[in-house]
Amino acid sequence: MSSATETGNLALALRQLVKHFNGVQALSGATLEVERGTVHGLIGQNGAGKSTLIKILAGLYQPDEGTIEIDGVTHERLTAHDVEKLGIHFIHQDRLLVPSFTVGEALFLGREPRLAGLPFLDRRAIRRQAEKILDKYFGLKLPANALISELTTAQKQIVQITRALLDKPSILVFDEPTAALVRREADILFDLIRRLRADGITIIYISHYLNEIEALCDRATILRNGKDVSTVDPRTTSAAKIASLMVARDIEEMFPKTAATIGKPALTTNALTKAGKFRNVSLNMREGEIVGLTGLLGSGAKDLVRVLFGLEAADSGEIVIEGENGRPRSPAAAVARRLALVPEDRRGDGVALGLSVAENTTLASLKRFTRFGFLQSNREHSEVDRLIEQLAIKTNGRFAPVRTLSGGNQQKVALAKWLSRQSSLYILDEPTVGVDIGSKVEIYNLIGKLAERGAAILVLSSDLPELVGITDRILVLYRGVVTREFISSETTPDAILAEATGALDLRSGEHRNVV
Amino acid sequence: MSTVANPAIKDRFTPKSFGEGVVRYAVIIALAGVFAFFSFATSTFLTSANLASILVNNFTLLAIIAVAMTFAVSAGGIDLSVGTAVDFASFAFVSLVLSGHSVGLAVIAALASGAIVGLVNALLIAGVGITPFLATLGTLFIGRSAQQLLTNGGNPVYLPQTGIPPLFGFIGHGHILGIPVPLVIVGLLIIAASTLLFSTRFGRVVLAIGVQQSVARYSGLRISGHIGLVYVISGFVAALAGIILTSTVSVYIPNSGNAFMLNAIGATFIGTTLSREGRPNVPGTVLGVLLLSIVANGLLLTGLSFYWQQVGTGLLIFIVLAASFLNRSSRSD
Ligand SMILES: Nc1ncnc2c1ncn2[C@@H]1O[C@H](COP(=O)(O)OP(=O)(O)OP(=O)(O)O)[C@@H](O)[C@H]1O
Ligand SMILES: [Mg+2]
C-alpha cells in the first residue's frame, strides 16, 4: 500500500472519487495519484470503474464526491474543454471518429491548416501532413484520403493516437489501447510510449494485459469494485500477485483444458479464394474442435472470416457447412446454417449500444421466442436472465441499455447472443478483447464447454499465448496464404509469431497494409 | 481526445431528479399546459362540442399519417412521401366510385395505391440503396407531377351530390355505437400499429435496424426485406387517411396530403421524448398528435391568423424537441 512520494511531484491526483449511475455504484472512493513523467498503469476487473475514473478526469462525468488536482491546482468542476486546455488528452476505450471523414479530416478536425491565412481548407496540405505524421509515429502508410469507415479497428485507433499527439499533450491517457492492435502494432505503441515518457510526458495506461503493465509501467494502481486497493511497482510485483489483488481470489489455471470428442466435419473449405485478399484456403474443422487462426493485419484472416460469414463474396472455391455445400451469400444465410460471429468491432457490429441487454441477447434468436409472430417476453426474459448469470454479466438488470455496461461486459453480451441462438459453428474474432483475467478464464471455460457439446470453434486472436492455450491447432495466414498449421500443444507463441510475420521478411521492416 | 460527443454520457433510466422528470414527460406536461391555457383563454375551448371537433377534425387524419411516419422513423428512416400516399389513395378512391365501382372495391384500390407508393420507396431504399430522405423526397416530387398530369394541371375531382353509394359518406360521417367512424378506424389502427411495433418479432427487428443497422445485419436479420416492408406499411397506413379525407369532403384535391407531412414528422419526434431511450413509439406519436391538434384548435379559437397558428405549432415542436435534446445530451444525473 504505497502512495506517491511528495505532493509537489504529482502531475495528477484524483482523491476519494465517488460516482453513482442510477443506483449503480461505479466508484466508491477511488484514489489515483500519478507522478510527473511516469507511466502509470490502471488495472482492474471489468466494471471495476477504470473507464469511469478516466471519464471523470476527462470532464465527461462529474463526480458525486471527491477532488481533482492537476499540477497542484484543485479543480471544482472540469469540463472537457478545460481538460484539453490543461494538456490532458485521451484515447478512449470507445473509439469515436466520424466514419464519413477521411483520415486527414479526422486528424485535423478543429485545427485545419489554412491556405496562407485564407479561410479555406488546404486539402493537399492536410493530406501531406497526415501522411508525414502517421509515418513518423507509426511507420505506417495510411492513405490520408481513405474514409474512416474503411479502416480496420487498429487503423482507426492509430489515427486517434496520432490525433492526440498532434496537440503535444502533457498527460496522455490510454484506455485499453492495445485491445485492438496486433502484436506488431502493439510493439510500435510501446516504443512510442517509452519515447513519450523520455520527453517528459506523463502517461496513464489502462490494460487487462499484465505483461504490458509489467513491461511498460513505473507504477500501477489496482481498482476493485470502484475503490483503489493497492498501488504497486509492477516490475517487482508478480503478475500472480497483481491478478489476485484484482479479483480477490487466486486464478488457478489460466487455460483450462477440456476433453471434447472430435466428431463429424463441421466446416470445410476447398481452395477458397478472394482476389487480393487470400488464395486457396483449405480449412477442415470438425465438431468439438477449437481451431486458431492468426496473421498480421492484411494477412487475409479478417477477410476470410467475412467470407465465411457471408459478409463478402469469395471469387472461387467451396464452403461446406455441416455437409451442406454452398457459400453463404449473406449473414442471414450463414446464421440460418447455425454459424455465429463475434466480430472484432464490438461497438460497431457486435452489440447495439442503444438496445437493452435483453434485446441484444435475443437478437439472433428471436424465432425461439416467437409464436404466431408475437414475442413471448416471459420466455425471452428467463433465457436472458439465465445467460446474464451464466456469463456473470455485470449489469443493472436485463433492461439496462448495453451502452451503460463496461467494455468487457459488452463483449459478454456479444457472446451471449450466439449462445441464445444455440449455434453450432462459432467464429470468435478477438473474443477476449477488453475482458479482465477472471472473465477471460470464464470465457475460455465456456469455449471449452461449447466444444464438449459438439460445437466447432474458430478463434482469431492476436493474443498468441491465449491462442496457443485454448486451441487444438492453429493456422497461420501470411499474405493471404495458409503457410503453416501448428498443433497447439507442441508449439509456442514465438514460433507462431515468427511464422505470422514471415520469418524472412521480419528484418526487412517492410509492413504493408491493405486498406 | 474524441471527435464527437461521447454517447456514453447519455444515461437515463428512470427519471431521478425533478428536472429530469420534467424533461422526460415534457409531452404530457405540455398537453396539460396547453389544455389548461386554452380552457381559460377562450370560452369555447372547453365544450364537449369543441373537444369532439378536435378529435374528429384535427386529430384523426394527422394521427393516421403520423403513425405511418412512425414506422419509417422506427426503422431509422423517414417518409417524406406520406402525403403522396394520401393523395394517390384519395385519387383512386374517387375515380373508382365515380366510374360506378363499389365502395368496397374502391377502398381496396385506394389502400393498394398507398401501398404502391410505399413499394416505390421500398425499391429505391432497400433495393437501390438510396437514403430514405432522398428516396422519399424523389417519390414526393414524382407524385406531385404525376397528380398534375392526371388532373390536367391540378384540377380537383368532385363527386356529384347524388347517385353516390351511402357507404361512401359513412366512412367519413357515420357512427358506430355512437362513435364517429374515423375515430373507430384511428383507434383500431393505433392498437394494431403499437402491437406490431411493440410486441412482435417484426417490430423488434425494425427497432434493431433503426438503432444500429450493422448489428442487426451481423445478427443474421434480413435487413432489406424488413426496411422495404416498413415503407409499404407506411404507404398503406397513410392511404387510410386518404380514404377518410375523401369521404369527409367528397372531393379529391391534388397534392393536398403533403400539408400533413411536417406535422407528422413533428408529432413522431415529439413522441420519442416519451421513451426512455428516445425511441419512436406509437403511443408517444399519438400524444404528439393530440398536442398539435389541441394547439391548432385552440389557436383557431383565439382568433389568431392562420400564419400565427403555424408559428405557434412550429414553436411548440421546437420547444418539446429542444427539451428532449437537452435531456439526451445532459450529463449524468
Ligand atoms: N453511463 C453509465 N450508466 C450506468 N452505469 C454505468 C455507466 N457507465 C458505467 N457504468 C457502470 O459502472 C461500472 C464501472 O464501469 P467502467 O466502465 O468504469 O468499468 P471498467 O473498469 O472500465 O471496465 P472494463 O474493463 O470492462 O472496461 C460498471 O458496473 C458499469 O456498468
Ligand atoms: Mg473500461
In order, the DSSP letters of A300-322 are SHHHHHHHHTTSS--SEEEEEET
For residue B292, is pLDDT > 60? yes
**Whether A146 contacts A103, CB under 8 Å:** yes
**Bridge partners of A70?**
A12, A73
Contact at CB, A94 and B204, closer than 8 angstroms: no
Contact at CB, B208 and A352, closer than 8 angstroms: yes
Query: What does the pLDDT look like over B189-248, one tens digit per residue?
Result: 999 999 999 999 999 999 999 999 999 999 999 999 999 999 999 999 999 999 999 999
**Residue B327: its pLDDT value, please?**
60
To the nearest 10°, report the CA torsion of B200, B228, B76, B204.
10
Pick the residue with more confidence: B268 or A479? B268
- What is the Å distance from ligand 1's center to A49 Cα? 6
Amino acid at A94: D
A352 CA: distance to closest CA in chain B (Å)? 6
pLDDT confidence of B331, banded at 50, 70, 90? very low
Chain A CB contacts of B221 under 8 Å are 332, 363-364
In chain B, % of residues over pLDDT 70 = 90
The reply to whether ligand 1 has any atom less than 6 angstroms from the CB of A46 is yes
Residues 139-178 of A with CB under 8 A from B: 160, 163-164, 167
Coil, helix or strand for B175?
Answer: strand
CA angle B272–B276–B277, rounded 5-degree value: 75
**How far is CA A153 from each of CA A145, A285, A297, B72, rounded to the nearest angstrom?**
17, 27, 10, 31
Q: How many CB pairs under 8 A join A and B?
A: 129
B235-250 burial by CB neighbour count: b if 16+ within 10 A, else e?
Answer: bbbbbbbbbbbbbbeb
For residue B7, is pLDDT > 50? no
**Residue A158: its pLDDT value, please?**
78
**Whether A93 contacts A407, CB under 8 Å:** yes
**Residue A115: its pLDDT value, please?**
53
**Residue B138: its pLDDT value, please?**
97
Select from A395, A359, A332 the least CA-distant residue to B198. Answer: A359
Contact at CB, B220 and A61, closer than 8 angstroms: no
Residues A68 and A47: their CA atoms lie apart, in Å, by: 21
Pocket test residue of A24, A398, A412 for ligand 1, highest count of atoms within 8 A of CB: A24
Structural domains in chain B, sorted by start: 17-327 (1.10.3470)
Q: At what angle do helices A183-198 and A153-165 cross, to 10 degrees?
A: 10
For residue B171, is pLDDT > 80? yes
Common-topology check for domains A3-246 and A262-338+424-515: yes
**Residue B13: its pLDDT value, please?**
39
Select from A437, A386, A434, A441 the least CA-distant residue to A411. Answer: A434
Superfamily of domain A3-246: P-loop containing nucleotide triphosphate hydrolases (3.40.50.300)
Q: Is the dihedral of CA B9, B14, B17, B19 positive or negative?
A: positive
Q: Show me where the domains of chain A are located.
A: 3-246, 262-338+424-515, 355-422
**Residue A113: its pLDDT value, please?**
53
**Fold designation for A262-338+424-515:** Rossmann fold (3.40.50)
What average pLDDT does chain B have?
88
ipTM above 0.90, yes or no: no
Residues A39 and A196: their CA atoms lie apart, in Å, by: 10
* CA A59 to chain centroid: 24
Residues of chain A with pLDDT under 70: 1-8, 23, 93-96, 110-123, 126, 153-154, 179-184, 248-253, 257, 502-515
**Bridge partners of A23?**
none
